[in-house]
Structure 1
Amino acid sequence: MRTIDKLLIQYGESHQNKTNVVIHAIAVPSIYLVTLGLIWCLPVPSFLSQFDVTWAHVLAIPVLYYYFLLSGPVGAAMTLLTIACFGVIKLLVNAGITVWVFCLALFVVMWVLQFIGHKIEGKKPSFFDDLRFLLIGPVWWWAHWLKRMKISY
């Protein structure tokens, strides 16, 4: 069995309750977005800023590499999500919204929702056992969409 299949099965074990699944369908991609947004806000050295590159861009490279190692379609899907997240961050900037404040507030709200979902589920979050599940959450979200589009991951 492929690593991606094992990880998704393990992640899915603590995401069976319908309410928890709905909460995670909203919270997981939101947390991915705001995490990138918070990292995007960190000051960068001038050699990076002159190219309009942030720490979020730098971090996205090894993260996306990991996703492509798991599966090509997963890597492509996560690349799309990452690009969309950077687009949303740019929209926030262009709208004059303070990115770090918006992202921090949404980060807290989404994590509270996730813990409420796990309380309803009656199971602890998967990342308590393995930190990789912090990266698998968005893949689990995508796996549902890929299945609906009849794309194997």
Structure 2
Amino acid sequence: MALFSDKSWDEWISEYGESHTHPANRICHSIGIPMIAVSLPVLLASLLYAPLWQLGVLLFAVGWILQFIGHYYEKKPPEFFKDWRFLFVGLRWWLKKTFGKH
């Protein structure tokens, strides 16, 4: 993907991991990242079945709240504050941490 061609995925994930070392932050992200990932197709599905929008918004909001709580304990700002592309790295980091692949 040209958008991420200046570094390998392993480099992106490694850099992301440097600001996700505190156990509380890792737990918050381990729950929050999948919540955000699931919220996106749920919100899309709400176009076909309107009541789903509430679940989608709830998952999205709680997922982000958990991530910011984690960064409170980490004492470091989220990586996407310095480079917006880190918004797309979080899910790959979670997949690698959870399943050993990305």
- State yes or no: 1:3 paired with 2:19: no
Letter in 2 for 1:100: W
Describe the SS at the equivalent of 2:83: coil
Residue by residue over 1:82-113, the C-alpha shift from the partner in whole angstroms, topping out at 9 and shown as x without a partner, is: xxxxxxxxxxx6xxx92111110221112111
- Preserved CA contact (<8 Å) 2:31 2:66: no
Cross-structure match for 1:35: 40
- Ranges in structure 1 where 5+ consecutive residues have no aligned partner: 44-92
Query: Is this contact kept in 1: 2:38–2:59, CA < 8 A?
Result: no
Higher RCO, Cα 8 Å, sep 6+: 1
Q: TM-score, normalised by structure 2?
A: 0.82
TM-score, normalised with respect to structure 1: 0.56
Task: Give how far 1:4 is off.
Answer: 0.4
Q: Which 4+ residue blocks in structure 1 deviate beyond 4 angstroms?
A: none
Q: Aligned match of 2:55 in 102, 127, 134?
A: 102
1:55 counterpart residue number: none
Deviations, residues 2-53 of structure 1 (Å, cap 9, x unaligned): 610110011001100001001100110110110222233347xxxxxxxxxx
1:137 counterpart letter in structure 2 = G
| Mapping 1:25-64, distance limit 5 Å | 25-42=30-47
**Please, which runs of 5 or more residues in structure 2 have no aligned partner?**
1-6
In the alignment, is residue 143 of structure 1 matched against residue 99 of structure 2? no
* Percent of residue pairs bearing the same amino acid type: 38
